[in-house]
Amino acid sequence: MEKEILNMEEAANLFGVSIKTFIKLLKEENVPARKIGREWRFSKSALIDWLSHGNSKDYSSSEQDTRQYFEQVAGKWEEISGQYYDSSIINKIIDSDILKENMTVLDYGAGDGFISRGIASCVRKIIAMDTSGSMLDELERKAKSQGIVNILTVECDVNEVPLRSAAVDLICASMILHHIEEPRELITEFYRVLKAEGILFIADFLPYEDEVFKNNMHDFHMGLDPIALEKWLIDIGFCNITIEKMPDKRDKNIFVLTASKVYSE
């Protein structure tokens, strides 16, 4: 006879997730359950019924809204983004002496190729990855008009990095992490696809207090705390972390960060 009453481990196995993920689910959702003393117990049929009544749109609508926004503004993104940051980020990457001519670079959240096109002449190959196909179309159009031929565009889902492990020498994540609901998950993927001693370059907004801007730009976070970000990076395995505030040029302050993947072999 199949068990009807499940413990935590059995319930997590039923859902095909880790216990850690299942505990997170318990905290965030109204999962049918009882706590008896210190132990959780679950009805197998109730869990299956709860799962069957879920709606994927409840979980993906915010991501879809963000993607639709960037699809709509792709043609004028250069004008919009220019209000908040400029080529000083590209200059910072170049001046930091992290670019090498034999490098393969991942530009994650590439948009219309602001970073990719700016550093293309300094490296061997760039993989420009974004969730918006329209943005990547703009990138290809602009790269072609500039005679740039070493950029490969790849469309992806949020938090997805569809590359083999240890595939790239450098990752640029410029002005993207504040759009991501769970940036730590994405940073873990960055670590996976970086080669040993590879470099991660991040540029993003410092914390701000502008709810209107956040909503208009479809941001998940009102900037990022670089100290919390540094802790995530260390926990994941990065080292040699440097953080620098960029000179104020717009009404939103920006920081840049570089980190290295620990050599593990």
23 vs 127: which has the higher pLDDT: 127
Q: How confident is the model at residue 106 (pLDDT cuts 50, 70, 90)?
A: very high
- 14 domain residue, yes or no: yes
- 121 domain residue, yes or no: yes
**In a shared domain, residues 38 and 107:** no
pLDDT given for residue 249 in this prediction = 66
Residue range 33-43, pLDDT digits in tens: 999 998 999 99
Cα radius of gyration rounded to whole Å, the chain: 21
pLDDT at residue 57 is higher than 70? no
pLDDT at residue 15 is higher than 80? yes
Share of the chain above pLDDT 90, in %: 64
- 76 domain residue, yes or no: yes
pLDDT at residue 96 is higher than 50? yes
- 57 domain residue, yes or no: no
pLDDT at residue 59 is higher than 70? no
Number of domains in the chain: 2
**In a shared domain, residues 132 and 23:** no
**In a shared domain, residues 97 and 189:** yes
Residue 110 tokens, joined: 């590439």
- 97 domain residue, yes or no: yes
What is the DSSP track for 100-150?
Answer: -TT-EEEEET-TTTHHHHHHGGGSSEEEEEES-HHHHHHHHHHHHHTT---
Residue range 200-217, pLDDT digits in tens: 999 999 999 988 888 888
Mean pLDDT computed over every residue of the chain: 89
Q: What span, in angstroms and rounded, lies between the C-alpha atoms of 109 and 131?
A: 7
pLDDT given for residue 263 in this prediction = 61
pLDDT given for residue 265 in this prediction = 44
CATH number for position 122: 3.40.50.150
Residue range 249-262, pLDDT digits in tens: 667 899 999 999 97
Q: Stretch 60-68: mean pLDDT, rounded?
A: 62
**In a shared domain, residues 136 and 162:** yes
- 230 domain residue, yes or no: yes
Residue 42 structural domain: 5-52
The pTM is what? 0.73
- 123 domain residue, yes or no: yes
Q: What span, in angstroms and rounded, lies between the C-alpha atoms of 244 and 255?
A: 6
**What does residue 159 show for φ and ψ, rounded to 5 degrees?**
65, 5
pLDDT given for residue 62 in this prediction = 55
